[in-house]
Structure 1
Amino acid sequence: MKLFLRFAPRRRSDWTDEQLLAAWQERRDEACFNEIYQRYHHLVYKLCCTHLQQVADRQDITLEAFAALMELPASKSIDSLPRWLNRTARNLCVSRYRTEAAGPFLNGEETFFEKNAGEFVENEGLLRHISREHPHLTDLLPQALEQLETKQRQCIELFYLEEMTYKQVSETLGYDLKAVKSYLQNGRRKLSVLLRELLSERS
């Protein structure tokens, strides 16, 4: 595969899907990942439009699909990148639809994960917010955090618990700013689901 990359065109826009994917999986070439995103994000979003009504949900699932690609290990083989993205996005859409159809378990308590989108926002602190607004969830948070993927947990802990900015988290962990925001977004969603499950087990 390295020989395959050796003779790739100079401009990423001229690379094949296979070359872009190989460069991302082998050496985490962000320019290649960005080219994949530019090449296919509108197609993924279009698919989401056929399954989901809310614009925010469509945008979330589009980001989730590419976040899944971002975390793809080098050992994972993909025959067709468009088909893989299509299948991943469709599965995420179905999962989101089923969750919404079941109704909110915590009656909107996911809102305590919402943040201002500004890059240098000063965090209020997740623990303080939960303790004040949702005290019954405070003791479940550490258990839920342990079940997150490592990168998601790291970003959640630094951004919310250590009250760092997006930029500070990026510099501390060495992740791209876009990656940090993606890990936070997916981590918040997963954390909300985990807290629901843990609360359900208690009742």
Structure 2
Amino acid sequence: MKFLKIFKRDIVAPLSEAQQLAAYRSSGDAGLLGKLYEPYMDMVFALCYKYLQDEDASKDAVMQIFEKLLVELKSHEVENFKSWLHSVSRNFCLMQLRARRTFVTADQADSEDVESIMVSYEEDEPLFGERKFEALETCLGTLPAAQRKAIQLFYIEEKCYREISEETGFEASKVKSYIQNGKRNLKICIEKNESK
């Protein structure tokens, strides 16, 4: 049985996703990231197709998202690659839709996704849709800087309270307050803009 030990030494255990990400961050080797990204390409394509409703645009998005990862993963430490990639892909598609001034409706995406991309108030009333989008952009600019930053990091970049606190230096207890007050102020401002 000693001969089995010889073969065991030659077997290289596959790296975990966290190890692959760390290896990419230290080396910058796009091939390492490509190996990590490849198993998720079908998921990214399906997600992009759900939002963009165009096969060619979705294929392009898969490549553009990879190019985005090449840059972002050099500085971001990601704990759960799959869920982070899902968020990055969804946000990429939403920005594409925003650029085209096309909007995702509840019919086009399941309610779980729609809820996560819409800033909502206590009654779960979406703060923006087609008519409210321009008002939202205007109103974001009127928020105090701390509220605006907290809202953007929480809803657009999908960071948790702890990450927002670390990135901004805000006390953790203040982050929730900034987000809640920011939502309330946005709702009031949007309603005023709609009545004009």
- What TM-score range do you get, normalising by the shorter chain? 0.3 to 0.5
TM-score under structure 1 normalisation?
A: 0.41
Return the index of the structure with the highest Cα Rg: 2
TM-score (norm 2): 0.43
